[in-house]
Structure 1
Amino acid sequence: MAERTVLLEHRGTPPVPARTGSLALGLLKTARPRQWVKNLLVTAAPAAAGQLFSRHALTQLALVFVLFTACAAAVYLINDARDAVADRAHPVKRHRPVAAGQVPVRVAYTVGGVLAVLGPALAAWLSSPVTAALLTAYLGMQLAYCVSLKHVLVVDLVVVTTGFLMRAMIGGLALGIPLSRWFLITTGFGALFMVSAKRYSEAVQMAGKAGATRALLTEYTTGYLRFVWQLAAGVSVLGYCLWALEGGGAPPTGVLPWRQLSMVAFILAVLRYAVFADRGTAGEPEDVVLRDRPLALIGLVWLAMYGLAVVNL
C-alpha cells in the first residue's frame, strides 16, 4: 500500500510516514536481532572455567542469554522511542520502525518498559539474585547512556565497554563461577579496544563532515582515539600473557603447553584486528571478524588452543 504522510502538531518537526507493516515485525526489527550475537559473550566465563557443557550450565546460559537479549531489546525500544523525532531528520535512522511510524512511540515505550521489568524479575526467580542485580545495573546504565551519558566524553566509551564486560561476567555469576582477575582485565580492555577502534574509524570516516554521525565524535580527536585503542590493546595482550604464563613454572599436564601457545594466536588476532582499526575500517566487531577470513581463521585456532588448555589435553 502507498505510504501517506502524517504531519505532527509540533511546528518544524519532520513529517512521519505512516506505515502499514506488521507491528510485530517492527518491534522485532527495533530489538536489533543482528546485535543478539553479542550476547553469546555470556558463555565466556563458563568456557574459561571449563564448565560450559554440563546440562545445568547450558540450561542456565540459555536462560541468561534470553534475559540479557530481552533487557537489551528494552533499551533499544526506549531509546528509539525517545529519539523518534530526531531520527526522522536523519537520512538513515528515519527508516527505523519507530521513527517511520510502523511502531507507535507509546507502544515502543510500553513494550520496552515491560521487558525492562520482566528481565530482572525472571532472573531473580529462575536464576539468582546476583544475576538479577547485574541485569538491573545494565538497564540503569544503558538507559542513563541513552538519556545523557552518550554526550559525555570518555564516559560514553566506558559505558559501552562495561556493557560488553557485563555480558561476559553474567554467565559466570549465574553459575557461581569465580571470575579471574586476568579474565576481567583481558575482557574489559579487549572490549575497550574494539569500542575505541570503532569510534576511531567513525571519526576518520567523518573527517570534514561534522554532524554526519554521532555528535560527540566532533569532541574527540583521532589522535586521542588512536591512543585509547592502542593502550587498550596493549593492556589486553599483557593481561592474557600474564594468565598464560601464570602456571609457566609447572610442567604441562597436556600433550603440549597449549596455555602458553595460545598467546601466539591471541596476539596475532589483536594485531590483525588493529590493521582495520588503523585503516579506519573497524566497524561492528562481528562484521570485522566475519568479513576477514584470516582473522576468522586465527580466531578459530586460538579458540581450539584455548579449549585444549582449559581441558588440559
Structure 2
Amino acid sequence: MLKLIIRSMRLKQWTKNVFILAALVFDRQLNNLDALINTLIGMLLFCLLSSSVYLINDMVDIQADLKHPSKKHRPIASGKLPMPIALITALALSLSSLVLSYWLSPTFAIIGGVYFILNLAYSKWLKNIPIIDVLVIACGFVLRVAAGVFIIGVERFSPWLYVVTTLLALYLGFGKRRAELTLLAQEANQHRRVLDGYSIPFLDQLITIVSSTTIIAYSLYTFTAPSLPENHVMMLTIPFVLYGIFRYLFIISVKKSGGAPEEIVLTDWPLQLSIFFWGICVIVIFYSNQISSIFQ
C-alpha cells in the first residue's frame, strides 16, 4: 500500500520545485548555511504539498484517466489505491506541510496556501478552460519562485526572473498540450476536455511567441539586471538557454514526445547537459570570489 501511495505522490514531479532554489542561487546566498537549510526545508514542504494536490487531482480525474492509454494504470484510476486512503493521505500531506510552512515563514505558508487553493480550482474547473489552464500552471511556477524569495529574504533578486519563469512555464505548458494533442489524436477531448479548445497550428503559434519572448526576456536580464556583474559576463549563459529551448521544441515537434516535461528533464541527456553547463556557468559567475578563495 505504501508503494502505491508513493507512486501516487508522483515523486518525478518534485523536480518542478527546484524553482524554489532560484532566490538562493541568484541572490548569491548559496554559501549562507542558514538560508540553504531553510530553502531545502521549504522545498521539501512544497514537494509534500504538491503531492497532496496530485492525489486530489487523480481522485477528481479518475473517470478521464480510465480512458487514457497510460494514466489508466495509475494506482487510483486502476483501483489499486482505495479512494478513502488517498483522501486521508492528501489531507495529511496538505495540513502538515502548511502548518510546518508557517513555522518556517508565515509568508511562505500563505504562498503555499494560495498554491494549494489555486490547484484545487484548477483540478475542478480551470483545467477545462483553454489558455487559462496553462496560465494557472505558469502561476504555480511563479509561486514557487516567490516562496523561495520569502523564505530567506533577498537583496539582489531581479524581477526579471519572475518574467523569465512565467514565460518558460508557458512554453513548457503549451508544449505539453501539443504533445498530448499529438499523442491522443482524434480522441484527445475524451481524455482531457480542454484539448478540444486547442489545435496544432494554434499551439505552434503560442509556442513560437512564448519561446521567443523567453529568449528575449532572459537575454535582457543578463545585461540589464543591476545585481549582475558589470562586465555582462552573464550573457555567456544565453547559448545554453537557447539550446535548451530548441531541444525541447525538437522533442515535441520532431520526436512527438514531451507530454511529461519532468520525465524529459530526467531522461533526455542533451537537455540535461545544457542545464548542467548553464548551472555551472551561473555558479562560477556568481560565486567566483568564493571559489577562488578556496584554492588560495
Partner letter of residue 51 of structure 2? A
Aligned to 2:178: 200
Is residue 206–residue 212 contact of structure 1 (8 Å, CA) maintained in 2? no
Is residue 67–residue 191 contact of structure 2 (8 Å, CA) maintained in 1? no
What's the CA shift for 1:251?
A: 5.3
Secondary structure of the 2:185 match is: coil
Is residue 26–residue 102 contact of structure 1 (8 Å, CA) maintained in 2? yes
Distance 1:241 1:33, change over 3 A: same
Aligned to 1:156: 133
Larger CA Rg, structure 1 vs 2: 1
Is residue 198–residue 284 contact of structure 1 (8 Å, CA) maintained in 2? yes
Aligned to 1:120: 98
Tell me, in whole angstroms, the C-alpha distance in 1 between the residues paired with 2:21 and 2:27: 10
Larger mean CA deviation between 238-247 and 272-281 belongs to: 272-281
Q: Please report the TM-score for the alignment, with normalisation by the length of structure 1.
A: 0.83
What's the CA shift for 1:89?
A: 5.0
Q: Which runs of 5+ in 2 are unaligned?
A: 290-296
Distance 1:117 1:311, change over 3 A: same
Distance 1:35 1:153, change over 3 A: same
Tell me, in whole angstroms, the C-alpha distance in 1 between the residues paired with 2:30 and 2:229: 25
Higher normalized helix content (fraction of residues): 2
Aligned to 1:227: 205
Aligned to 1:95: 73
Aligned to 2:235: 260
Secondary structure of the 1:283 match is: coil
CA deviation profile, 1:211-238 (whole Å, cap 9, x unmatched): 4532211221112211212111111111
What's the CA shift for 1:312?
A: 4.7
What's the CA shift for 1:143?
A: 0.6
CA RMSD of aligned residues (A): 2.3
Secondary structure of the 1:306 match is: helix
CA deviation profile, 1:26-61 (whole Å, cap 9, x unmatched): 211111112122222211221111112321122112
Distance 1:88 1:220, change over 3 A: closer
Distance 1:49 1:102, change over 3 A: same
What's the CA shift for 1:183?
A: 0.6
Larger mean CA deviation between 165-174 and 205-214 belongs to: 205-214
Matches within 5 A, 1:53-72: 53-72=31-50
Distance 1:221 1:62, change over 3 A: same
| Percent of pairs with identical residues | 28
Instruction: State the structure with bigger RCO (CA 8 A, min sep 6), 1 or 2.
Output: 2
Alignment: residue pair count: 286
Distance 1:258 1:118, change over 3 A: same
Larger mean CA deviation between 63-72 and 272-281 belongs to: 272-281
Partner letter of residue 277 of structure 2? V
Matches within 5 A, 1:177-216: 177=154, 179-211=157-189, 213-216=191-194
What's the CA shift for 1:296?
A: 2.5
Distance 1:62 1:284, change over 3 A: same
Asked if 1:31 is matched to 2:2, the reply is no
CA deviation profile, 1:192-250 (whole Å, cap 9, x unmatched): 11111111122223333344532211221112211212111111111111111126998
Is residue 258–residue 306 contact of structure 1 (8 Å, CA) maintained in 2? no
Distance 1:85 1:58, change over 3 A: same
Q: Which runs of 5+ in 1 are unaligned?
A: 1-22
Secondary structure of the 1:102 match is: coil
Asked if 1:165 is matched to 2:123, the reply is no
Aligned to 1:243: 221
